[in-house]
Chain A
Amino acid sequence: GAGVSQSPSNKVTEKGKDVELRCDPISGHTALYWYRQSLGQGLEFLIYFQGNSAPDKSGLPSDRFSAERTGGSVSTLTIQRTQQEDSAVYLCASSPGGGQPQHFGDGTRLSIL
């Protein structure tokens, strides 16, 4: 596809369950970012992958959060033992490289009951 693709678009799950969110970046983009945005709030940086370098995980809020990027393309953000405060829109963005403009996906709206 032409843009960043995220799935699912919406996810409702019970507290304590694990969830996986997927991001398929724009083809050829080496940089991939995950953000979280709560209602009415700014973007909260979670993690950044750049090529084959070790990811910048400095934004992950707890060890319940992890992310992988396989083959330098698709990324999965996993949240274990979900809590109600994890409810937010999770946004993925990609760019051709560091310092270049990011292009965002439509996000995954996560609701924890």
Chain B
Amino acid sequence: QKEVEQNSGPLSVPEGAIASLNCTYSDRGSQSFFWYRQYSGKSPELIMSIYSNGDKEDGRFTAQLNKASQYVSLLIRDSQPSDSATYLCAVWLLYGGSQGNLIFGKGTKLSVKP
């Protein structure tokens, strides 16, 4: 069973703090990793992609990937109330030849308190 696991939260952080969101996945063959943000009543919105081990920074967001530990995380620096949303981790799993699929975690709900 190919799985992507996230803590459902809610994760509550004060404004200005660093929010750390974590995701583990079950398949070592995973190729691509994505973080999506979903506001209540809206569609998921892509915020970060990461494909190789290490850190990738984009503004206040940093994605971290460790394939050996099968772990990907998202750090949000200087958290703002507008960052309050559900964050979905998604992992592309390759399961034979060129066949694969994108597996989503159930999401972590983040609440940033003013």
Residues of A within 8 A of B (CB): 33, 41-43, 45, 48, 53, 56, 91, 93, 98-107
A sample of 12 more A-B contacts (CB under 8 A), given A43-B44, A104-B44, is A33-B102, A42-B104, A42-B107, A43-B104, A45-B101, A45-B103, A56-B99, A98-B92, A98-B100, A99-B31, A102-B34, A106-B43
Q: Tell me if B49 is interfacial: C-beta within 8 Å of chain A.
A: yes
Docked complex Cα distance between A99 and B90 (Å): 10
B106, A42: Cβ atoms under 8 Å? yes
A-B pairs with CB below 8 Å: how many? 45
Q: A42-B104, A42-B105, A43-B104 are in contact. Are A103 and B98 (CB under 8 A)?
A: no
A99, B104: Cβ atoms under 8 Å? no
In the complex, 27 of the A-B residue pairs with CB atoms within 8 angstroms, ordered by the A residue number, are A33-B102, A42-B105, A42-B107, A43-B44, A43-B88, A43-B104, A45-B101, A45-B103, A45-B104, A48-B101, A53-B99, A56-B101, A91-B43, A91-B44, A98-B98, A98-B100, A99-B32, A99-B92, A99-B102, A100-B32, A101-B46, A101-B49, A102-B34, A103-B46, A104-B45, A105-B43, A106-B43
